[in-house]
Structure 1
Amino acid sequence: MTELSLIKTRIQAGIWEGILTGAAPDGGVPDLRVTHLGKLLNTVAVSPDPGTQGQWAVKIAIPPELLSDGVQTFLIQDGATGETLNSFNVVTGEPLGDDIRGELDLLRAELDMLKRAFRRHCNETM
């Protein structure tokens, strides 16, 4: 049995696209399953690449109703073995930006405190 390998090529117009290499155990179309928060999505299309033997084009439509503030994670698994082949995240919303800016401000404040302590230490040792 050939190992399946899935590589992302792009996300465009709400569709995740990738290239799947390897062969299904029965020689047919590989069975891929995509889940979001444990729920199975029925938006996967797998079609053979006419120019390359054993290579498949994968397209996964991202349902807009699943997008909300925060990070949404999608898992792509081999339906036959359950092995995770790839995953992707969609990050949306302003609250996430506030969290990152808050963390950056905290890091800057800590860096300033360390600089002051280091300068004070250097002045004391002279």
Structure 2
Amino acid sequence: MGQDVTLTKLRLIEGVWHGVLKRAGRDNWQPEIEVTHLDQPVEGVEVEEDRVEECWYVRVPIPAERISDGVQTFLVRDRQSAAVLGSFAIVAGDALAEDIRAEMGLLRAELDMLKKAFRRHCVETMDE
């Protein structure tokens, strides 16, 4: 398929991931995509052409049984070439809370470093 195909996330709402698929050039291309989670196919994927915008809208319903603690990654592939067009992830549960706490700790450390550097800068410029 090549690198002339782009898949862009639009939103995730009410358990359905929405994206837009575009291909450079105007030809009679019909995308055949598959979505997998842990190498298992996700059922109910819809691809709908928009001739005005020259793109394809992709809808992927997220089955409730696929949502669990941690990061769940879904791969979107071209069925013919098996090339990965894109992916999306859902993060939930305790793993998310730990990640957020770790990120907050890093942000606090960076903020403290910036405060010290700013104070040092203020003292040095007042001495001049």
Instruction: Say whether the fold is shared (TM-score over 0.5).
Output: yes
Q: Percent identity?
A: 44
Report runs of 4+ in structure 1 exceeding 6 Å deviation.
Answer: 106-109
The residue that corresponds to 1:115 in the other structure is none
Unaligned runs of 5+ in 2: 113-128
Q: Would you say how many aligned residue pairs link Structure 1 and Structure 2?
A: 109
Residue by residue, what CA displacement relative to the aligned partner does 1:5-36 show, whole Å, maximum 9, x if unpaired? 2111111111111111128xx93531001010
> What TM-score, normalized by structure 1, do the two folds share?
0.71
Map of 2:70 onto structure 1: 70
Tell me which residue corresponds to 2:16: 15
Corresponding residue of 1:87: 87
- Match for 1:64: what amino acid? A
| Paired residues of 1:17 and 1:58 also in contact (CA < 8 A) | yes
Per-residue CA deviation, residues 82-126 of structure 1 (Å, 9 max, x unaligned), is 1111100100012431354367659979xx9xxxxxxxxxxxxxx
Q: Is the contact made by 1:73 and 1:90 (CA closer than 8 Å) also made in structure 2?
A: yes
| Contact map agreement 1:47 1:57 (CA 8 A) in 2 | yes
Change (3 A) 1:99 1:21: closer
1:40, 1:89 → 2: CA distance? 15
1:62-100 deviations in Å (ceiling 9; x for gaps):
111110111100000011111111100100012431354
- SS of 2:72's equivalent in the other structure is strand
Letter in 1 for 2:15: G
